[in-house]
């Protein structure tokens, strides 16, 4: 899916059976080094963060109050992300 412009979600969004009623933030990391933290911009820990391209099946995504990280192999292409509450 490609979205040009602004995506506004009103009401509840559900991903894989998990409902989100709070705000979403998204961004791009030009390159990504395994284990590096990406700031999500929330004041508290979000419920979920998703990175694209999809991470390896065996990797672990860690979400903290200030950011999130992934132990996937270093990516040379942009890593797109979305976090929500």
Q: What is the pTM of this model?
A: 0.68
Q: Which residues of the chain have pLDDT under 70?
A: 1-13, 15, 54-58, 74-76
* Residue 81, number of CB atoms within 10 A of its CB: 19
Decide: 39 and 67 in contact? Cβ < 8 Å: yes
Q: Which two tokens stand for residue 4?
A: 């040009």
DSSP secondary structure letter of residue 3: -
Chain-centre distance of CA 10, in angstroms?
Answer: 19
All residues at 6 or more sequence positions from 39 whose CB lies less than 8 Å from its CB, including other chains: 66, 67
Tell me, what's the pLDDT at 74?
Answer: 67
Tell me, what's the pLDDT at 57?
Answer: 62
Q: Which two tokens stand for residue 33?
A: 């080094």
- 3-state SS class at 40: coil
Tell me, what's the pLDDT at 58?
Answer: 67
Tell me, what's the pLDDT at 32?
Answer: 80
């Amino acid at each position: 899916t490609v979205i040009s412009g602004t995506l506004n979600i009103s009401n509840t969004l559900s991903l894989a059976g998990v409902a989100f009623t709070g705000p979403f933030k998204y961004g791009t990391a030009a390159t990504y080094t395994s284990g590096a933290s990406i700031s999500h911009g929330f004041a508290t820990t979000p419920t979920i963060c998703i990175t694209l391209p999809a991470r390896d099946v065996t990797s672990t995504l860690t979400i903290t109050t200030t950011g999130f990280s992934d132990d996937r192999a270093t990516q040379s292409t942009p890593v797109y992300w979305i976090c929500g509450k």
